[in-house]
Amino acid sequence: MPPRLQLSNTFYESSGQWWFSVDSISLLYNTSEEAVFNASDVYAPASSSYHCLHVSSLQRHSALLLPNNDHARRWTITFTDFQIQAFNVTSGKFSPASDCATFLTPAILMGLITSLILLLVLAYALHMVVHLKHIERDDDHKAEIYFSQYPEQPEHCCVENVAEKNTL
């Protein structure tokens, strides 16, 4: 027997629209045993559908299904490529989907942090380049002040040297 889904439809004034949610999923097995899972965070506007890659009771898939009774604790359940639309179905096709993926996944968060670090390193490097150009200008100016040219030797020393050479 296929799983039985319990749905609800609620109007939220803050958004001004109706939202449907999956409240629970029941599995009947051995003709009399029933495993019931409460669904958390499986909801979408009533005018659209809900889509998620994994709706599961497993922690590695965000555990959107929580066991509600002892029979359910013995089971793990996973729906892959899960899509549902409770209301306003036309022509047998799903409306645009409200996806379960959050905006700030760990991969996106690490990308943002890495980009921030690289931006800070770039800003620091540009600051240092600008600062180095400023120091070079100051060093050229200081070199003229502190390291002036040695005074030239007097002319008579050179003339004497020439005279001494001629006599030898």
Contact 64, 96 (CB under 8 A): no
How far from 149 is each of 69, 140, 144, 152, CA to CA, in Å?
A: 96, 14, 9, 9
| Cβ neighbours, 10 Å, residue 17 | 12
- The span from the CA of 89 to the CA of 42, in Å, is 18
pLDDT score of 155: 57
Q: How confident is the model at residue 134 (pLDDT cuts 50, 70, 90)?
A: very low
Quick check: 167 pLDDT over 70? no
- Stated as kind and residue range, the H or E segment containing 109 is helix 106-146
Tell the residue number behind the tokens 């898939």, with chain if given: 61
pLDDT bin (cut points 50, 70, 90) of residue 114 is: very high
Q: What percent of the chain has pLDDT over 70?
A: 76
Is the full-model pTM beyond 0.95? no
Stretch among 8-22, 35-49, 82-96, 127-141 having the lowest mean pLDDT? 127-141
Partners of 99 in the beta sheet? Answer: 51
Of 65 and 102, which is predicted with more confidence? 65
Residue 38: per-residue pLDDT:
92
Task: Tell me how far apart the alpha carbons of residues 54 and 61 are, in angstroms, rounded to a whole number.
Answer: 6
Residue 118: pLDDT over 90: yes
Question: Mean per-residue pLDDT for 61-84?
Answer: 88
